[in-house]
Structure 1
Amino acid sequence: MDATVGASSGTVLPDSSPAVVAHAADDLRIDDLPVRLPAADEVVVEVAYGGICGSDLHYWTHGAAGESILRAPMVLGHEVSGTVVQAAADGSSPAAGTRVAVHPATPGADGVTRYPADRPNISPLCTYLGSAARFPHTDGVFVKYATLPSRMLRPLPEGLDLRTAAVIEPASVAWHAVSRAGDVAGKSALVIGAGPIGALIIAVLKRAGAAEIVAVDLQTHALGVAEAMGATRTLHATDAEGVAAVQADVALDSSGNYRGLASAIRGTARGGRVVMVGLLPTGDQPVPMSLAITRELELVGSFRFNDEIDEVIAALADGSLIVDPVITHEFGLDSALEAFAVAKDAAASSKVLLRF
């Protein structure tokens, strides 16, 4: 039975919608979930594509992503593109038929914790689609019909296709990371970890005018993607001497482990900057801080993004940011389990998309 009608579009929405749901570690299912009726400032988006993120893989394989522990079934996904099929009743959203990307964050202050007002990405109560950081969890958007706040939507320019638009969210993470590195034009850059985020960092560095981009990874496949994205040179992660000899002006570590961060510190020239992008495990990390001190390195964190998503959309639309090589696989929703298995295999894949 079809119960929800988009008054502004004439679209009849189904009562339920297929979704990719993590129930527990190693328990990933395609469930049929009710389509939630939108509030006045919410829209219904028909999702076209979704990119599988490392956090999605962690919820599937470990039942947790860092300190965010799965305590109840949760819809995964926060990297999506789609089309508005029911506009917001209060007029706050793009019209029905508009193709959109989604900014998955909801900033939130607690009235106590201090943070810069222009950096809501680090606000203490910030929530993210598809995150178990809080309970009840924040469901994601790996669902055919997603009900979302209109403020999350970003209209897509003509010529920017929905498949490419699925990479806007991780490209925004990369854009934010490069902005934390400062002006990279004419400088040398070292990128540790050439998975999807590292590969997109390379693309952003290339667009920003970096003169040399050295990519480091354990996987030959990832290094091939890195070259396609704009790396001028690649090194295998086991070549410790080669990595240390780079002596880059800036290094960006997206490896997510302390060995990668240690390599970034060793491979950065005196007076340089190290941007820490990959989320390390909780607790102390054994890295060569003495080198950071004696070389006067600047170590800066990079977490998610803010309004960089708008710059990413513009750069993708005008062709100055090239991301196509990072997309290595695409699966239909009914093959979601296979898609997750492929995405887990870093030796054979980079960004894996689900087609809804």
Structure 2
Amino acid sequence: MRGCVIHGAGDLRVDELPEPVAGPGQAVVAVRYGGVCGSDLHYWRHGGVGDFLLREPMVLGHEIVGTVHSYGAGADGPAAGTPVAVHPATPCARCPECLDGRAHVCRDTRYLGSAARMPHVQGGFASRVAVPAAQLRALPEGLALRRAALAEPLSVALHAVRRAGPVLDRHVLVTGAGPIGCLVVAALRAAGAAAVTVTDLLPRALRFASAAGATTLVRADDPADPGRPDEVDVAIEASGSAGGLDTCLHSIRRGGVVVQLGMLPPGRSPFAGNLVVSREIELRGALRFDTEFDEAIALLGREASFDALVSAVVPVERAGEAFALAQDRGQSCKVLLDFGT
């Protein structure tokens, strides 16, 4: 069985792995597609994500779809052969956050393809993977696996929009037109935003944002760009840069909401904190998602426009090529690995 395994910074291999066996309460999924995420790229380039450093080889990947293969003892769910998406989080269900209905910030969660704990939680970039059966979601009829592979990152975008509060008929700024930023645009339009302005440094990235439904595109490195708004109602920072956050804080109206979605670099990040006080801006964080996963699958089933955001599908045997392509934001949006099962 093939698996996409990171052994250290710059050391990505397609290894032969043992076939998984479904334990009690588990299901084995035959994976068809896996989306390459920014965290996968960080493990590949730097050997870690923030403070989470690789200490052993780890199968990457948490954006996976496929078909049900088999179940372990005491487990049930969609019938064998059913197309499914896999929710990647296994919260503890015991901590104060879980008991408060905020499982997405569980302090002891297990997340596919994460080095946050030791031993690491192995990911889903493999021909078959064993996961808790409760994390399977059957796809609606007509939703192809290729588009369904966007369910996990779209869930992240939907959660960020939810954190922003009401966006109906409002003007929203999104800084960063990477895959997540573009999906935020799509989520905003689905939620009824009247206008969505997107900033980025790269023309190709902005074209993907336009395909997602952006109404105005702005070059982030051009202060004289005529599309740059004087004021917006809501801002979502999706670039993961201090500059993007600064743009949001300077663009938001008094009393407005800024959502920090992009993960900022480790350490201290300077930002215009005085504006938070003088304009009474609400600065909110957004981490992962919970129930939005089911909403994402339903939305993908209704909207064919998401297909334009899948920029490449690469066989797993050429995983290195897929990661290099995903890293090149001037050429790609969402890159999928194809496990061909």
Q: Does 1:142 align with 2:142?
A: no
Contact 1:265–1:274 under 8 Å retained in 2: yes
User: 1:316 Cα deviation (Å)?
Assistant: 1.6
Higher relative contact order (CA 8 A, sep 6+): 2
What is the aligned partner in structure 2 of residue 8 from structure 1?
none
Give the aligned residue type for 1:200. Answer: L
Q: CA deviation at 1:172?
A: 0.3
Quote the offset at 1:324 in angstroms.
1.5
Distance 2:223 2:99 in 1: 38
Distance 1:245 1:141 in 2: 41
Q: Is 1:278 the counterpart of 2:298 in the alignment?
A: no
Q: Which runs of 5+ in 1 are unaligned?
A: 1-16
Report what 1:323 is aligned to. 306
Match of 1:222 among 190, 193, 205: 205
Q: CA deviation at 1:161?
A: 0.5
**Aligned counterparts, 1:283-298, within 5 A:** 283-298=267-282
| Deviation readout 1:25-51 (Å, 9 max, x if unpaired) | 000000001112111211111101110
Match of 2:250 in 1: 266
CA 1:77 to 1:344, structure 2 compared with 1: closer, same or farther past 3 Å? Answer: same
The SS at the match of 2:162 is helix
What value does the CA root-mean-square deviation take over the aligned residues?
1.6
Q: Is the aligned partner of 1:156 residue 2:116?
A: no
Report the TM-score when normalising by structure 2: 0.95
Cα deviation, 1:213-257, whole Å, max 9, x if unaligned, reads 000011111000001110000111113465874411000001111
Q: Which amino acid aligns with 1:157?
A: P
Match of 2:326 in 1: 343
Report the equivalent of 2:87. 103
Whether the aligned pair in 2 keeps the contact of 1:87 and 1:95 (CA below 8 Å) is no
**Number of aligned residues:** 338
Are the structure 2 counterparts of residues 232 and 109 from structure 1 closer, same or farther at C-alpha, using a change threshold of 3 Å? same
Q: Percent identity?
A: 47
1:323 is paired with a residue whose SS is helix
> After the TM superposition, which of the residue ranges 186-195 and 325-334 deviates more from structure 2?
325-334
Q: Given that residues 244 and 266 in structure 1 are in contact (C-alpha distance below 8 angstroms), is that contact kept between their aligned partners in structure 2?
A: no
Matched, 1:55 2:39: yes
For 1:246 and 1:352, locate their aligned partners in 2 and report how far apart those are by CA, in whole Å.
34
When normalised by structure 1's length, the TM-score is: 0.92
The letter of the residue matching 2:287 is F
Deviations 1:250-274 (A, max 9, x none): 0000111111111111111111100
- State the shift of 1:82 in Å: 0.2
Question: Are 1:186 and 2:139 counterparts?
Answer: no
Q: 113, 117, 122: which one pairs with 2:105?
A: 122
Distance in 1 separating the partners of 2:94 and 2:27: 27
**Alpha-carbon separation, structure 2, partners of 1:28 and 1:96:** 32
Partner of 2:220: 237
Where in structure 2 are there 5+ consecutive unaligned residues? none
The amino acid that maps onto 1:195 is: G
CA distance in 2 between counterparts of 1:244 and 1:266 reads 12
